[in-house]
Amino acid sequence: MAIVLGTAGAGELGEVVGVLRGWQGEGRAFQLHPGDLGWFWRFGVEQTAAATRIWRRGGEIVAVGMLDEPDWLRMAIAPELQRDEELARRIVEDVSTPAAGVLIDGKVAVETPMGALVQDLLFKDGWDADRPWIPLLRSLSGPVPDPGLRVDVVGAEDAHERTAVQRASFDGSTFTDDRWFAMADGVPYADARCLIARNKTGESVAAATVWSAGVGRPGYIEPMGVHSLHRGRGYGTAMVLACARALQELGASSIYTCTPASNVGAVATYQAAGLEPQPEIRAQNREA
């Protein structure tokens, strides 16, 4: 059957999120999580749809891509089709041809599941490995230590605190109250929680959003940050433990995140909360 590429319509995003949930599983390659789409949803449903690419075969979704930026595509491929030659060749053709409407001309990058055939074909076409990222994972089959801090689940009344901590944690962050409400209205947020950690005086010192893919499937942290005025006091580790407990309550089988290998501080924070580094992952990039 012919493979058809298209840009998602707003009405298709629920189907896309459901497919991405079903593709998550223990022992599978790390790939685009419904939480990635959920975090992008802060820009609104129309912009999220415009950034989403769908490959279908026989009407069924077989691959999904999300444009983090016009030059950066993150992908998920149906687990049973990750070595499918027809699909891999079609994806390579589409991401390599600006007229296909996936990536812009010039320097671009594609992140696909490690071990997928599309990676082999991109390398054969002259693409290079991008900088390494480190996935970190912790099983949630056993008890998770108490974080030792007060942690609140964010609702509409304290969304302003969640967004303020985000902006204080990441230089250049544009996370506003309006964007929190847009994210919270998104389909993926039905299986998500925003959390705020507070110190002894009640100040918000760290924040995170966790995304479940459903009971018995890996849950995901995206993003997690510590307020710039409160770093170096163990709040990051406490926040990650709170994330693990929240995902455990949602029925997740494990908790994971990914961070650049160069960010040794972040890697150490996640390890201190019991997340173990996994084999590095790399996107493929192509110069102009």
Structure confidence by residue, pLDDT tens digits, 155-184: 999 999 999 999 999 999 999 999 999 999
What does the mean pLDDT of the chain come to? 97
The structure tokens 């029925």 sit at 251
What's the confidence (pLDDT) of residue 96? 97
CATH architecture of 3-132: 3-Layer(aba) Sandwich (3.40)
Q: What are the sequence ranges of the domains in the chain? A: 3-132, 138-280
Exposed / middle / buried, residue 76 (Cβ in 10 Å: 0-12, 13-18, 19+): buried
CATH architecture of 138-280: 3-Layer(aba) Sandwich (3.40)
Q: Count the helices and strands in the chain (H runs, E runs).
A: 9, 13
Residue 74 and residue 113: Cα distance in Å, rounded? 9
What's the confidence (pLDDT) of residue 37? 98
The list of the chain residues with pLDDT below 70 reads none
CB neighbour list of residue 145: distance below 8 Å, 6 or more residues apart:
241, 274
What's the confidence (pLDDT) of residue 1? 81
- Indicate if 138-280 has the same CATH topology as 3-132: yes
What's the confidence (pLDDT) of residue 82? 97
Phi, psi torsion values for 21, nearest 5 degrees = -60, -45
CB neighbour list of residue 194: distance below 8 Å, 6 or more residues apart:
153, 154, 159, 162, 180, 184, 207, 208, 209
Quote the pTM value: 0.97
Identify each DSSP E strand in 181-253 by its residue range. Answer: 192-198, 204-211, 218-226
